[in-house]
Chains A and B, each alone.
Chain A
Amino acid sequence: MTDHALSAPETGTTWHLAEQEDHDHGGNGATVLGFWIYLMSDALIFASLFAMFGVVSTSYAGGPVPREIFDLKLVALNTAFLLASSITFGEAMPHMEAGRVGPTRFWLAITGLLGLAFVGVELYEFSHLIAEGAGPQRSAFLSAFFTLVGTHGAHVTVGLIWIAASLVQIGQHGLIQPMKRRLICLSMFWHFLDIIWIGVFTFVYLYGVIR
């Protein structure tokens, strides 16, 4: 976009071609498409973990079965936290596009707190299971459970670090164009994790309890 400025000699005014916007947008689009491809490859990682869980989901090795160890009230609370955080991130985006720093940071911070609550509840659930003797080493079912749900939780944790870094960066630089691009990628990442969680709560928890 550097060579697209025309100088009018008589006035000294610099005019920019309308195309310039296109070029800028093109760069954004390439990043978003690239990030989309990353999300799709991450979906394949989760697909293989779901497949593994599906294969060994009844291999209890004489250990506890889902109905005995899953507390659906806790899972419902967790699901509510993550879904709410997806919705609050959606609230931040129009403010970000309009360049309003305050509301963007506010909604992003709310999203981060809900995500933190999600990870907190999940860690509580894990520690509770391990204390009960239903740790990952107990049976193939539990190994697959901890791997699948733990991988999702690790992603959410990385998302939280990213949110915290974004909050700091917005404060330092304001909502400049590279910052907006990063936030668009972060919002895609966060919504993607909520979609994976739909699979987890349906396949692992709800189906596990009624089968």
Chain B
Amino acid sequence: MSTEPYDAALHAHGDTHGHGSRLGYRIGSLLAIVLTVVPFWLVMSQDGPAPGWIAAVIFALALVQIVVHVVCFLHLDTRSEGGWTLLAFLFTAVIVVITIGGSIWVMFHLNTNMMPMPGGGHIGPVR
């Protein structure tokens, strides 16, 4: 069996894993480069601690870049594998947000509240 009909059949199914459209891939590469260069430039042009908006911008750019990579390089869409890859991805995203956000949130407050009190041995919630 030659590979030609097989490939034709693959594409006819609208199957997108591992090989999306070339245009989408080119746009993704270009966006990925821009989204990498901008945060590095922003931070490297600073000297010492930067204002909070820069931190907000680099985190926002990272989120956008993750979405670009997932869509353009991993070819995640609503159709691949009958939507199961998207469902698994969304579930994972929720768990990731809870794990990272929740841990940092809880431990930050724990650290704050467990600080040794000045002038006394009392350790406990701040009143």
Contact = CB atoms under 8 A, between A and B. Distances in A.
A199 interface: yes
Give the interface size class of chain A.
Answer: 35 or more
Interface string A170-196: 000001010000011001100110110
A22, A24, A192, A210 interface centre (most CB from chain B within 10 Å): A210
B55 A44 contact: no
A90 B3 CA distance: 20
A210 B96 contact: no
A207 B33 contact: no
Given A25-B15, A207-B59, A194 B49 contact: no
Nearest to B92: A40
Nearest to B1: A16
A198 B65 contact: yes
Contacts of B39: 202, 206
Contacts, number: 140
A187 B18 CA distance: 7
B127 interface: no
B48 interface: yes
Contacts of A76: 40, 44
Q: Is the interface of B mostly helix, strand, loop or mixed?
A: helix
B123 interface: no
Give the interface size class of chain B.
Answer: 35 or more
B84 A33 contact: yes
A98 B11 CA distance: 12
Interface in B46-62: 46, 48-50, 54-55, 58-59, 61-62
Interface in A29-51: 29, 32-33, 36-37, 40, 43-44, 47-48, 50-51
B73 A209 contact: no
A67 interface: yes
B99 interface: yes
B112 interface: no
Contacts of A25: 9-10, 13, 15
Interface stretch (A79-87, A107-115, A123-131): A79-87
Given A87-B29, A90-B73, A207 B81 contact: no
B68 to A, nearest CB: 10
Given A29-B15, A76-B44, A210-B54, 5 more contacts: A54-B104, A188-B18, A198-B66, A198-B69, A201-B36
